[in-house]
Chain A
């Protein structure tokens, strides 16, 4: 009987780690947006969770209330998230960096309060469900294909594949953009805003575009998060999400897109690996312990290795 018990356990573990991989992938995409802003443009976006919420809620509301097809809802929701980035950026990007940080975190807070309290629209704290019928169909189809190679029992594998495929596509696009004139202007702004302006570049417009790009990436992470938990509710989009993203960002390293994935995988395997240590604590205290660890990661990286694992010190330019 022992081999059977063993194999059953290893399957259970495979399922568990696939789940962790999905979360790490979602955070990677989320943090790509922060990397565009912080690592490549030198602007502080503390409201990424808010853009993520706007994307996810717009997608779900277009499907549930307006009865759109998901294939139409996804691009439009992404545009809505980008428009919200523009809306926040127009006043906030004119100001010194610490004001931008406060304004973006405040905007994200207003999004969360709205999600909680506009109950007729967003379902309040009960959230929104039933927006993923199309995804269920795709998932079943993918599982059918996977069972051909003996992986039909791994129910989380389809989302895992879609998440990391999305990450890879976005990675390739962002790395290509980095070498276009647009990407070079962003880095020029990071290095020396006044010099970029003196060369006739509209610094403000480029910063707005950078924030809109981050908002779009946040929205994509939001869709995947919604598919993963099959429920959209306000607590998923708290400011904690943004700062877990920042921990991933600085852990992996500034100005490195690959570092984002590395940071996300590292952080989430540590956070989820804690489940295997049997702690005699209630659920809320375990949650607190995990976020405490995130805080310690932030402090430790910033004190001892501010450029992170893959980042370069000379590419760390943010005037705070």
Chain B
């Protein structure tokens, strides 16, 4: 047994994380029976998918700009309400409306870089200034949406009743399964983008050391613009996917999700996009698993307890490295 423990401690972090999650799942199966454990795992993967989509965008922006974007959650809301607008008033088919919503959010992020973030960088604005601007932006987006759409709960015109039986009586909604597949494909594409393309490598170079990247001839302005575009598109996709999977939305749903996205990104190490991906899935699973023990109204509190715990035990996150300043 000690030999086994020694080998576990020497394993790479991702292996230990997966091992830990599987161990936890085994405990849950033993404690609550295979059906409940499997059903909450399925729900957790659905939740984890849109957590991961949102958290990766948050981590990309933080990695490149060292900016914690408090408006990121409201970009999710923006996408969902744009999809609603295009499907209801313009009569677009829902899938097309969701694509338009996602693209509109990417455009919003790019525009915010051009009219706000870039000029503020040239003025050498401090971190406090930028942080409060993201909060101001969050207020403007969220309340702008409420000003036009009102605070009543809305639904996207998606099929929320059809469900598949996976095994036993473990079920997943048709829309939810599509959401998971689309989300996982998007995450895979982002991983390929970061790993295999030139722009992806440049983004990682900026995240590592911006001034060093600049002197080695990388067009940092362009890379930052692309980063905002990708982060916005991911936020948009997270928004339409979560609105479709949850089935109902209000103007503050993204703001409320933001706290879980923070938790996911911090668990992953905050500036690592891969970390945010793992953190998102993990947090989705933990939040859904927790519903077996406490009422689901406490889900957000569970997510945030994970954040506090991470900050206490391993502030650099699971996949993060200590910051060199």
A-side residues, CB < 8 A to B, are 38, 44, 91-92, 94-99, 101-103, 105-107, 109-110, 113-114, 116-117, 243, 246-247, 250, 281-282, 284-285, 287-289, 291-292, 294-299, 302-303, 306, 316, 318-320
Contacts and interface: CB of A to CB of B under 8 A. Distances in A.
B301 to A, nearest CB: 5
B194 interface: no
A108 to B, nearest CB: 10
Given A105-B259, A113-B298, A284 B146 contact: yes
B68 A98 contact: yes
A246 B307 contact: no
Contacts of B301: 109-110, 113-114
Given A284-B151, A285-B150, A302-B136, A320 B304 contact: no
A110 B297 CA distance: 11
A99 B139 contact: no
Contact of A99 (B125, B137, B138, B266): B266
A289 B150 contact: no
Contact of A106 (B126, B127, B130, B308): B308
B131 A44 contact: yes
A243 B135 contact: yes
A298 B135 contact: yes
A284 B147 CA distance: 8
A42 to B, nearest CB: 9
A114 B150 CA distance: 27
B126 A316 contact: yes
Contacts of B144: 288, 292
B158 interface: no
B215 interface: no
B177 interface: no
Given A101-B68, A285-B146, A92 B311 contact: yes
A109 B300 contact: yes
Contacts of A91: 308, 311-312
A40 to B, nearest CB: 14
Nearest to B151: A284
B293 interface: no
Interface in B188-202: none
Contacts of B266: 99, 102
Contacts, number: 131
Size range of the chain B interface in the assembly? 35 or more
Nearest to A300: B136
A289 B301 CA distance: 29
A129 B151 CA distance: 27
B147 A288 contact: yes
B293 to A, nearest CB: 14
A95 B311 contact: yes
B143 interface: yes
B128 A320 contact: yes
A106 B267 CA distance: 14
A102 B258 CA distance: 10
A95 B315 CA distance: 8
A44 B68 contact: no
B262 interface: yes
B120 A303 contact: yes
Interface string B200-235: 000000000000000000000000000000000000
A103 B298 contact: no
Contacts of A318: 126-128
Most central of B143, B259, B312 by chain A CB within 10 Å: B143
A98 B311 CA distance: 12
Given A110-B304, A295-B137, A299-B137, A103 B126 contact: no
B131 A116 contact: no
Contacts of A250: 132
Given A285-B150, A294-B136, A318-B127, 20 more contacts: A91-B312, A94-B315, A98-B127, A98-B131, A101-B131, A109-B300, A109-B301, A109-B304, A110-B304, A113-B297, A116-B297, A284-B146, A284-B150, A289-B147, A291-B143, A296-B136, A302-B132, A303-B120, A306-B129, A320-B131
Contacts of B150: 282, 284-285
B140 A295 contact: yes
Contacts of B135: 243, 246, 295, 298
B133 A299 contact: yes
A285 to B, nearest CB: 5
Closest 9 CB pairs of A and B: A320-B127, A295-B139, A298-B136, A288-B146, A299-B136, A318-B128, A292-B143, A295-B140, A288-B143
A306 B125 contact: yes
A297 B132 CA distance: 10
B100 to A, nearest CB: 24
Most central of B116, B132, B133, B142 by chain A CB within 10 Å: B132
